[in-house]
Structure 1
Amino acid sequence: MYNGQNDVRNCGHHSGCARPPAGCWSLSSVQARILEGVAAGFSSGRLSRELYLSSKTIDYHVRVMSDKLQAPNRVALVSRAFVLEILRTDSWPPRVACETVN
């Protein structure tokens, strides 16, 4: 079910759950790359250069993902992404689980 919030989706089956399964959250490919960069500790400036996007666009996507995952900052965003199994725990640098990318 699309929640109207810029490519971050919840499946609708787990809206009351504190910890939805990995398949419930999906990210656009751009958001996935941004989340991986944030998890690796990259700044908005570095991500903007690597992804050929403006730093404001990077910040926008970080804010959208943070709002959706109820994370007040980048550290909390990454932490929640690991807890929700959006980011895989078996690789470094962190990678988004394939099933969470549209």
Structure 2
Amino acid sequence: MSDTPGEQPNLLLSLRTRAEPPAPASAPRAEVSPTEARILAAAARGDTTAQIGREIGLAADGVNYHLARLSRRWHVPNRTALVGRAYAFGVLVAEVWPPEPARRT
């Protein structure tokens, strides 16, 4: 601080912040229900929504519900990317035709 009149006093300010590490981006979860796994296997075969619904025993809206939920959870834009992600996560067995869900322990 200055003792001289007319001179602006210097102000010393110290801020202390506690740095929090950035929260990690939420990683997609690879867990799926048995119904979701069967839907993914049928989608990997190229079945239509109606065909998947008949096989699983759901209405087309039910199949679309599960596909949309998985797409949001895994951050993918379409069915093709969803099937690719299912293989990458090990939800579907690689190198097997027709596609089938992996056995979960």
Per the normalisation by structure 1, the TM-score is: 0.70
Deviations 1:61-101 (A, max 9, x none): 0011111111100000011111222211121111121128x
Q: Computing the radius of gyration over CA atoms, which structure comes out larger, 1 or 2?
A: 2
Query: Amino acid of the residue matched to residue 30 of structure 1?
Result: T
Query: Following the alignment from structure 1 to structure 2, what is the Cα–Cα distance between the partners of residues 16 and 95?
Result: 30
Partner of 2:4: none
Q: How does 1:52-63 map to 2 (within 5 A)?
A: 52-63=57-68
Query: Following the alignment from structure 2 to structure 1, what is the Cα–Cα distance between the partners of residues 75 and 50?
Result: 24
- What are structure 1's unaligned runs of at least 5 residues? 1-14
Q: Does 1:78 align with 2:83?
A: yes
Query: Following the alignment from structure 2 to structure 1, what is the Cα–Cα distance between the partners of residues 79 and 96?
Result: 19
Deviant stretches of 4+, over 3 Å: 15-18
Query: Amino acid of the residue matched to residue 52 of structure 1?
Result: G
Partner of 2:32: 27
Q: How does 1:1-102 map to 2 (within 5 A)?
A: 25-99=30-104
The structure with the greater share of residues assigned to helix is 1
Query: Following the alignment from structure 2 to structure 1, what is the Cα–Cα distance between the partners of residues 47 and 79?
Result: 11
Query: Amino acid of the residue matched to residue 71 of structure 1?
Result: V
- What are structure 2's unaligned runs of at least 5 residues? 1-23
Query: Amino acid of the residue matched to residue 45 of structure 2?
Result: A
Q: CA RMSD in A?
A: 2.2
What is the number of residues matched between the two proteins?
A: 82
Percent identity, please: 35
